[in-house]
Amino acid sequence: MTKTYEIAVIPGDGTGPEVVREGIKVLDTVSGKCGFNLNYTYYNLGGDHYKESGEILQDDALESLASSNAIYLGAIGHPDIKPGILEKGILLKIRFYFDQYINLRPIKLYEGVDTPLKGKGPEDIDFVVVRENTEGLYTGAGGCLKRGTDDEVAIQESINTRKGIERCVRYAFEYCRKRNKSKKLTLCGKTNVLTYAFDLWERTFNEVSKEYPDIRTDYAHVDAICMWMVKNPEWFDVIVTDNMFGDIISDLAAMIQGGMGIAAGANINPEGISMFEPIGGSAPKYTGKNMINPIAAILAAQIMLEAMNEHKAASIIEAGVIKVLREDLESVSAGKMGYTTEEVGDLVAEYIDKN
Ligand code: IPM
Ligand code: MN
């Protein structure tokens, strides 16, 4: 019997629907080739839906998402809506509800893509950031007192649990082993200042490392990581870190791989339902213009297939992306690709069809 996957699709705001459309075009082409089915259920969520209905993400939508095998997200974010409402109400809510405790950001400079790093090429930029995705500064723990007065106090707490750190670190070791590149795992922390949180991270990391004698370990403070990522990106294979540092360093990393047109990520619960997304955001100024680069969304689809163990299909998509980046696109920036959003999707799909 042909395998069928249930994919929940949240096209979302801005250019989200445009890039998701191209991702699905590519997914349909590759699933036909590789002999599995993808069944899509669309969810109307995001800023426009919130403005029309006052609804952000209802419990029944969450329950319905729970019946899918994976979630494919375009973008969430709306210029008219106060920052935090949609991010917390949709993106973070899904991450927490489904306990997607890993945020995975593969960083790879493909041939034909410019990096802002002088003298660095595809052989130098190929690593992965494994970011803890459910704890740290993101839990919302804290509070404020006397808001709006001269005596105002704001506390935002970083929550780090042994279990939360251990499962993340273990995932990173396993990933590093499976990736089988230079087999080096770097812990990114701040043990010189955050002496409680990163003491726990460091001890956990060192303990778990004993189970992985084949993986070399390294440690660097987050500020040093930023420095080395620009100066010597070739030093990195897999980096593991907490939620906040991971958020920051993965955007720096996205820039050195060519920027938001390329960068894709995944919110993973290895035992549950994961969510895959291009990380570029809703890009309101390009909305509806058929100008945005859909490659990041296509690569998010590729990571999704990888996570569903459809390795052959995933590598066919990557081969298509490699070809299109190397031979076709003039630039990876919106409006400068030499092709429209739709045409870029067509180019990848045509390659897959022919190979
Ligand atoms: C990301 C984003 C989110 C985060 C925002 C939109 C809440 O920046 O996925 O990295 O901070 O995690
Ligand atoms: Mn971010």
49: domain range?
A: 1-99+276-355
268 falls within a domain: no
Closest CA to ligand 1's atom 10: 247
266 falls within a domain: no
pLDDT value of position 271: 96
Rounded to whole angstroms, how far apart are CA atoms 127 and 346? 28
pLDDT value of position 296: 98
223 and 190 co-located in one domain: yes
Q: How far is the CA of 252 from the centre of ligand 2 (A)?
A: 10
95 and 119 co-located in one domain: no
Mean pLDDT, consecutive 10-residue stretches, the chain (355 aa), reads 95 97 98 96 96 94 97 96 94 98 98 97 98 97 98 98 98 98 98 98 98 98 98 98 98 97 97 96 95 98 97 98 98 97 98 94
76 falls within a domain: yes
104 falls within a domain: no
Domain end among 227, 257, 287: 257
146 and 241 co-located in one domain: yes
245 falls within a domain: yes
Domain end among 228, 257, 286: 257
91 and 123 co-located in one domain: no
238 and 289 co-located in one domain: no
Which CATH number covers residue 119?
3.40.718.10
Q: Which residues contact 262 (CB under 8 A, 6 or more apart)?
A: 110, 113, 254, 293, 295, 296, 299, 332
137 and 250 co-located in one domain: yes
Domain end among 257, 286, 307: 257
Q: How far is the CA of 261 from the centre of ligand 2 (A)?
A: 15
107 falls within a domain: no
Closest CA to ligand 1's atom 11: 247
137 and 224 co-located in one domain: yes
300 and 174 co-located in one domain: no
Q: Give the ligand whose atoms come closest to the C-alpha of residue 265.
A: 1
269 falls within a domain: no
309 and 188 co-located in one domain: no
Q: Tens digits of per-residue pLDDT, 7-52? A: 999 999 999 999 999 999 999 999 999 999 999 999 999 999 999 9
Is the CB of 91 inside a 6 Å radius of any atom of ligand 1? Answer: yes
Ligand 1 atom nearest 250 alpha carbon: 10
How does the average pLDDT of the chain come out, rounded?
Answer: 97
Token readout for 315 is: 């590598």
Count: domains in the chain = 2
75 and 127 co-located in one domain: no
127 and 192 co-located in one domain: yes
Q: Tens digits of per-residue pLDDT, 314-343? A: 999 999 999 999 999 999 999 999 999 999
